[in-house]
Structure 1
Amino acid sequence: MQQVGKPVTGKEFIGRGKELALLMEYMKMGQSVVLVAPRRFGKTSLVLEALSRLKKQNYYTAFVDVFTNPTLDLLSKAITEEVLKNHKLHKHFISAKNSATAMVQNIKLKAVLDDFQFIIGFADPSKNQWELLAESIDFVDAFGKKHKTKMICAYDEFGDIKKFDPKGDLVKLFRSKIQQQSNTTYIFSGSYETVMQNMFVSSKAPFYRLARIIHLEYMEKGVLVANLAKKSKELEIKLSAKYIEEIVGLCQCHPYYSQLAFQQLVLFNTLNGRIPDLGELTEYLLSAEKDYLEKVWEDISNNREYVHTLVTIAENGQNIYKRLKPKNINVARATKKLEGMGLLFRDDVKGYYISDPLLQIWIKNNI
């Protein structure tokens, strides 16, 4: 299969050796971590691989995707289900959660209910959702303590909490609960650097000094080249070493785009009976990502400073202050905001550059 876009673990997980080792050591030390990178940089795969390995070392684990659970009800249910997975009770909870009678009569759930009565509240429509969520957050730590096992809990896209918690009450609830826990270590991952810094790094942040920050960079070139060479050999597609390196170079070692490029190469070869040249492959990539790229641009296009800054950097990341001066752009403000959104990176040699290589090409071609 040449499927891309979904998290991978096990044999499909490649690279990130240093980041994985660092993340796991922090977990074993009981040190919570914040993992920051733009979307599709492999954060979720890294977290799931770490949890998978830690589970084999007899840790309890929980993985909660905040992005797909954007209400108090969904979030509290997701947390509880993930904790129950450690005893393979989540399916019983899912099937019985709408009926208190069904829960009480479920023999496998009964032992848990005796210790954690709050779970019955999921079957009560009148139950206060904030109370349920608060008890679910406590459940993460208490369940591990009850069974004398350390818990590792990951909240993926944790920054998305801000989207349905404009006043910050939910963040305060998490902080008040987590800072009292002693048996659980947390991984918080997020795509928006500004949001995550405001939550964890700033001296006024609610989670100030709670966690260590790990920034994910692009993948190692050698790892991607070796992986694509292996895949092409398995599919009996003859690709020169130079061509494979050109693919990785086109994608600038971006983990998602490198895999997508190979998928589109296979598709082109199947439909046309030959390997695409680099220009043809680029067009296939742009076509595959058209909706996504247009949505990214739509989200920032109403801001004049963002538009001019990105267009200028797409051409060249050097001397942007001088080049944007005639347009009366506050470059410092624009670049800081765009970095915080995960759209820009900065390098001492290259200057500023767009983190998404296809977005850079798309801007050059269309704007």
Structure 2
Amino acid sequence: MENPFIYGEVVTGKNLCGREDETKELLRDIRNSQKVLLFSPRRYGKTSLLKDIFINLNKKEFFTIYVDLYPALNESDFIKLLAKAFSSGITAPLYKTLNVLKDTFKHLASRLSFTINKEGNIEFDISLEKHDISPVLVDLLEGINSYITKNGKKGVIVFDEFQQVNYFEKDKVEKELRSQMQSQRNICYIFSGSKKHLLMDMFANPNRPFYKSTKHFQLDKLKSKDIFRFIKTKFQDTDIEIKDDLINKVIDISECHPFYFQYICHEMWEMSFLNGKVADEYLERSVDRIMERETSSYDNIWSLLSLKQKKTLIALSKILPQEKIFSNNFITKYNIGPVSTLQRVLNGLVKKELIDKVNNNYEILDIIFKKWIQRIY
């Protein structure tokens, strides 16, 4: 029997917990060809949500393009990944797909060479000089729009890990994308990413091309009622008994984090599937097991932090709901002032993706890392 709690990979359908409201809102945005910036901390399930929506879109009505930009190091990589994602959406024999690419892209076609891999898929090799980037990118974006329109469909283009564009040498991609998408009323663009500080600089900075060009959609933690129902159902479906109060403890200890509630339940299920019952002590044992696996990683992270960063993380690991990090009492209690220094330290920890600003306060993103700090200090 397979463990029904899946973590660390993309999940869809019955393996995706909650997100009904988010799905409905994004579907409305897609139908309205809205331009959307979707962001959240890592491991909140952005990719799973988007892939689940793609699976359920009517392919007769929508042409979907999903581009994972994580491997992109420059503009040439961006063009290659977008062209490959477009070609994979063409449901036609291989020779027709090649003809579509040649007919659709005038500038790009002369720079493309094709090989067919063992799986029978097209592999691109694009020869580009620096002066080719802008005209070829315009050709690609205009060609995609033309193809979608010609086929009487609406388009959905997702750029996942879009913050990678921020590392490109020039801002040609940002400028050309902004220019093209302004005039494309039949395509929904979704820019998804996890590095909030980089994305906010790209989309909220008046000096950047994407300033005020998209709707901002922040993906939050899961609702506790959705997690409760999901956990209850998964254990019941595999004939394992779990008490309601233990489910609530999982919700509390995981802080409704999409990744960590699945990870904890995965471990609890492994301990329970032979005897058909989740014992109370399995929760703490599961957290201990996860922490033990991550200890070397946490040790490495901790060794690279400054003393002020360590003191600030210790303070954040112990902060109470009613406490405010910039209050005099809190700063004095943990000796993490003055305020100007504390703000610089917090900004540095945000850039390291160790904390995030939530409702005018700051939280440690990795809840197991937080518990690791609490146990040591």
Q: Same fold judged by TM-score > 0.5?
A: yes
Residue of 364, 367, 370 corresponding to 1:354: 364
What's the counterpart of residue 42 of structure 1? 45
Residue 51 of structure 2 is aligned to residue 51 of structure 1: no
Q: Which amino acid aligns with 2:239?
A: E
- Residue of 91, 95, 98 corresponding to 1:109: 98
Q: Supply the AA of the counterpart residue of 1:360.
A: K
Match of 1:98 in 2: none
* 1:345 CA displacement: 3.5
| CA–CA distance in structure 2, aligned partners of residues 159 and 14 of structure 1 | 26
TM-aligned CA deviation for residue 336 of structure 1: 4.5
Deviations 1:298-336 (A, max 9, x none): 6xx444443322221111152433343544452233335
In the alignment, the residues of structure 1 paired with residue 308 and residue 173 of structure 2 have an alpha-carbon distance, to the nearest angstrom, of 32
SS at match of 1:148: coil
How do 1:247-326 residues align onto structure 2 when only pairs under 5 Å count? 247-269=250-272, 275=279, 276-290=281-295, 293-294=298-299, 297=302, 301-317=304-320, 318-321=323-326, 322=328, 323-324=330-331, 326=335
Structure 1 unaligned segments of length 5 or more: list them: 93-105
C-alpha deviations, 1:90-140, integer Å up to 9, x for none? x94xxxxxxxxxxxxx35422442232423522176443625444333333
RMSD over aligned CA atoms reads 2.9
Q: Aligned partners of 1:217 and 1:328: how far apart in 2?
A: 30
Structure 2 gap ranges (5+): 114-124
1:344 to 352, 356, 359: 356
Aligned ranges 1:62-211 → 2 under 5 Å: 62-88=65-91, 92=94, 106-117=95-106, 118-123=108-113, 126-128=127-129, 130=133, 132-163=136-167, 165-211=168-214
Is contact 2:160-2:191 (8 Å) kept? yes
> Counterpart of 1:320 in 2: which secondary structure?
coil
Match for residue 335 of structure 1 among 337, 340, 346: 346
Report Cα offsets for 1:219-271 as digits up to 9, x if no partner. 01111111111111122222111111111211011011111111111223469
* Mean CA deviation greater in 319-328 or 135-144: 319-328
- Quick one: structure 1 residues 292 and 108, their matched pair in 2 at CA, closer, same or farther if it must change by over 3 Å? same
Distance in structure 1 (CA, Å) of the matches to 2:246 and 2:260: 16
Q: Which amino acid aligns with 1:63?
A: Y
2:354–2:366 Cα contact (<8 Å) kept: no
State the number of aligned residues.
348
Alpha-carbon distance change, 262 to 213 in structure 1, aligned in 2, over 3 angstroms: same
Say whether the 8 Å CA contact 1:34–1:187 is kept in structure 2: yes
Q: Indicate how the Cα distance of structure 1 residues 143 and 220 shifts in structure 2: closer, same or farther if over 3 A, else same.
A: same
Q: Which amino acid aligns with 1:365?
A: R
TM-score w.r.t. length of structure 2? 0.81
TM-score w.r.t. structure 1 length?
0.83
The structure-2 alpha-carbon separation of the partners of 1:289 and 1:112, relative to structure 1 and needing over 3 Å to count, comes to same
2 CA distance for matches of 1:42 and 1:237?
26
Shift of 1:281: 1.6
User: What amino acid is the match of 2:41?
Assistant: P
Cα distance change, pair 204–255 in 1 and its aligned pair in 2 (3 A): same
| 1:5-20 to 2 correspondences below 5 Å | 5-20=8-23
- In the TM superposition, what is the alpha-carbon distance from 1:153 to its structure 2 partner? 0.4
The answer to whether the 8 A contact 1:79-1:137 is kept is no
Distance apart, 1:48 and its partner CA: 1.6
Q: Does 190-199 or 74-83 show the bigger shift?
A: 74-83
Counterpart of 2:345, as a letter, is: A
Does 238-247 or 355-364 show the bigger shift? 355-364
**Match of residue 364, structure 1, among 360, 369, 374:** 374
